[in-house]
């Protein structure tokens, strides 16, 4: 038996921030946002909600889907760039909230690529025999680090979580191969410069907006299109592109997803696209899209599914999933 995905879950806030509301806050229009991003609305966390809130809810769904109890888990991992606290990570909060008393717990931060990194990491734990069942969550609360006076970023980001259970199984969704890359020379093209050990929080750093996302939009767009296309081709190796039944890409921007699909010669029907409803919710976007596709019956046994992402760092990665019984 190899590492397989055997359960899915997702959770998003109730609060909807539609483009019409952003029109009142920014120098923008609904048409401008839709045309350039494909986003109609996004979900925003309530004051008493945070990254662990959504990861816990998505994780509970994934456990139920897998037919497991919290005590069955050996490990809880949360991919996030917006943990509830600088220390500890969000994963211990999720482990405790779920009642997974036996499980170890840790966070992984690879920006928007975090869930793909997480899947590969947990596949290693299961395949090696270190763990039998692990929970992989992608969860982010980007509204807390978004500057709602900056039109280039305010229209993009939302909050939420998706989760999967990875376990040793001969009937679930098989994982791999994977490929990854990073260009650390461009970290300041997409980052939150304040709040870490290099630039701790001070009155000046808050005033200067160092604790919100800063982005070189055109550079991110070009690199995302190039790297996601390259990663998809690399992970396929000698397999032809027409061996892929469905692509679940990080929902960074509707134009990015469409460009990558066109470069790969994919039709609209072969690409999952839910960015209109959720916006870009970083590491949560791929597991949310997978959970929705699974619930709708869009994913069928035997399908070959490509997951591909690009994010801060700059990081990128891709993986192949052979769909099984879930």
pLDDT tens digit sequence for 65-80: 999 999 999 999 999 9
> If 0-12 CB within 10 Å is exposed, 13-18 middle and 19+ buried, where does residue 106 land?
middle
**Dihedral sign of CA atoms 224, 37, 18, 267 in order:** negative
Active-site residue, 280 included:
yes
Q: Is the pLDDT of residue 126 over 90?
A: yes
CA angle 12, 54, 76 (to 5 degrees): 140
How confident is the model over 182-216, as pLDDT tens digits? 999 999 999 999 999 999 988 888 888 899 999 99
Angle between helical axes of 285-295 and 51-66 (0-180°, round to 10): 30
Instruction: Give the confidence band of 325 by pLDDT, cuts at 50, 70, 90.
Output: low
Q: Is the pLDDT of residue 1 over 80?
A: no
Q: What is the pLDDT of residue 324?
A: 83
% pLDDT > 70, the chain: 99
β-strand pairing of 41-44 with 104-108: unpaired
Query: What count of residues does the chain have?
Result: 326
Q: Is the pLDDT of residue 29 over 70?
A: yes
Nearest to 260, CA basis, from 302, 214, 316: 316
Q: Is the pLDDT of residue 326 over 90?
A: no
How far is the C-alpha of 134 from the C-alpha of 132, rounded, in Å?
Answer: 7
How confident is the model over 230-288, as pLDDT tens digits? 999 999 998 888 889 999 999 999 999 999 999 999 988 899 999 999 999 999 999 99
Q: Is the pLDDT of residue 63 over 70?
A: yes
Q: Please, what is the average pLDDT of the chain?
A: 95
The catalytic position among 19, 81, 112, 223 is: 112
CA angle 306, 13, 28 (to 5 degrees): 85
For the chain, which domains are there?
2-171 (3.40.47.10), 176-322 (3.40.47.10)
Do the beta carbons of residue 287 and residue 133 sit within 8 Å? Answer: no
Nearest to 320, CA basis, from 214, 261, 232, 242: 232
The catalytic position among 109, 223, 280, 281 is: 280
Average pLDDT value for residue range 76-97: 97
Convert 228-287 into a string of H (helix), E (strand) and C (coil): HHHHHHHHHCCCCHHHCCEEEECCCCHHHHHHHHHHCCCCHHHECCCHHHHCECHHHHHH
Residue 84 has phi, psi (to 5 degrees) of: -60, -40
Taking residue 239's Cβ as centre, other Cβ atoms within 10 Å add up to 13
Tokens, residue 86: 């600088």
Q: What is the pTM of this model?
A: 0.95
What dihedral angle (degrees, nearest 10) is formed by the CA atoms of 194, 256, 319, 263?
-150
The catalytic position among 250, 253, 281, 294 is: 250
Contacts of 138 (CB under 8 A, 6+ apart): 78, 79, 80, 114, 115, 118, 161, 162, 163, 282, 283, 284, 285, 286, 287, 288
How far is the C-alpha of 267 from the C-alpha of 286, rounded, in Å?
Answer: 19
Radius of gyration of the chain (CA): 19
Instruction: Give the confidence band of 170 by pLDDT, cuts at 50, 70, 90.
Output: confident
């Amino acid at each position: 038996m190899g590492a397989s995905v055997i359960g899915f879950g997702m959770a998003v806030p109730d609060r909807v921030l539609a483009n019409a509301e952003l029109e009142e806050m920014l120098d923008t229009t609904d048409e401008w946002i839709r045309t350039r991003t494909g986003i109609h609305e996004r979900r925003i966390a309530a004051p008493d909600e945070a990254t662990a809130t959504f990861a816990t809810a998505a994780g509970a769904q994934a456990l139920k889907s897998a037919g497991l109890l919290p005590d069955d888990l050996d490990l809880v991992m949360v991919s996030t760039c917006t943990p509830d606290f600088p220390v500890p990570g969000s994963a211990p909060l999720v482990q405790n909230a779920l009642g997974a008393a036996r499980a170890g717990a840790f966070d992984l931060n690879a920006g928007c690529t975090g869930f793909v990194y997480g899947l590969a990491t947990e596949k290693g734990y299961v395949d090696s025999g270190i763990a039998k069942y692990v929970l992989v969550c992608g969860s982010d609360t980007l509204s807390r680090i978004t500057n709602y006076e900056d039109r280039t970023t305010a229209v993009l980001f939302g909050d939420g979580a998706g989760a999967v259970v990875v376990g040793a199984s001969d009937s679930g969704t098989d994982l791999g191969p994977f490929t990854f890359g990073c260009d650390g020379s461009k970290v300041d093209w997409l980052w939150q410069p304040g709040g870490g050990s290099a630039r701790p929080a001070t009155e000046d750093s808050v005033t200067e907006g160092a604790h919100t996302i800063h982005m070189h939009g055109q550079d991110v767009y070009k690199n995302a299109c190039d790297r996601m296309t390259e990663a998809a081709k690399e992970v396929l190796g000698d397999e032809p592109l027409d061996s892929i039944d469905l692509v679940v890409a990080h929902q960074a921007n509707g134009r990015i997803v469409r460009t990558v699909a066109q470069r790969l010669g994919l039709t609209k029907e072969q690409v999952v696209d839910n960015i209109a409803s959720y916006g870009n919710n970083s590491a949560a976007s791929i597991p949310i899209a997978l959970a929705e596709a699974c619930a709708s019956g869009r994913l069928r046994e035997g399908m070959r599914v490509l997951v591909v992402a690009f994010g801060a760092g700059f990081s990128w990665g891709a993986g192949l999933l052979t769909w099984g019984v879930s």
